[in-house]
Amino acid sequence: MMTILAPMSAAFYPNFAEQLAKDYAEENVTAGLWRADTALERARSSTQSALPQGIDTPDQYLFEIKTEENGETAGYLWFSNVERYGVRSAFVYELTVFPQFRRQGHAAAAFRLMEERLQEQGCVAIELNVFASNPGAQALYASLGYVTTKMNMRKPLNADI
């Protein structure tokens, strides 16, 4: 198995943005953070704010995870690499591997390729958030050496959020 990170194409971006919004909305509803009736629009707005220039947004890196050079798209990866307080660090916003490509090592390989790129760019750390309702992602990140640095907790006081 070979995994390649290819810069996201302009043709792929609309599908990425819509799937990202759907997934983000669903995760926030499942976590009890957003109401279902407004979640999708809220997620679309969040994506537009974070990526106002789409694939050309400065300091944002969007990749298609390919099964091989010019192969099928197995998923996507979005991360940033910014300098704050004199230290260059990255933040992973999204990693998705499509269902038919899961459990084949593409996610771990994509992260290793990302880490190589970031080290070459002088990055000293990578951060990410993971929803509590996603134990598969938590296990993947732990296997790659990520550790919990903080935890958010919430107690809902009513069912309407």
Which amino acid, one-letter code, is at 139?
A
Query: For residue 154, what pLDDT is reported?
Result: 79
Q: How confident is the model over 124-153, as pLDDT tens digits?
A: 999 998 888 888 889 999 999 999 988 888
Residue 71 contacts residue 91 (beta carbons within 8 Å): no
The mean pLDDT value for 65-88 works out to 89
d(CA 53, CA 95): 20
The mean pLDDT value for 97-117 works out to 94
pLDDT for residue 155 is more than 90: no
Residue 78's pLDDT band (cuts 50, 70, 90):
very high
Query: For residue 160, what pLDDT is reported?
Result: 65
In sequence order, the 6+-apart residues with CB closer than 8 A to the CB of 70 are: none
What residue ranges in the chain does DSSP mark as E strands? Answer: 4-7, 60-66, 73-84, 87-97, 125-128
The mean pLDDT value for 42-59 works out to 95
- pTM for the full predicted model: 0.88
Residue 159's pLDDT band (cuts 50, 70, 90):
low
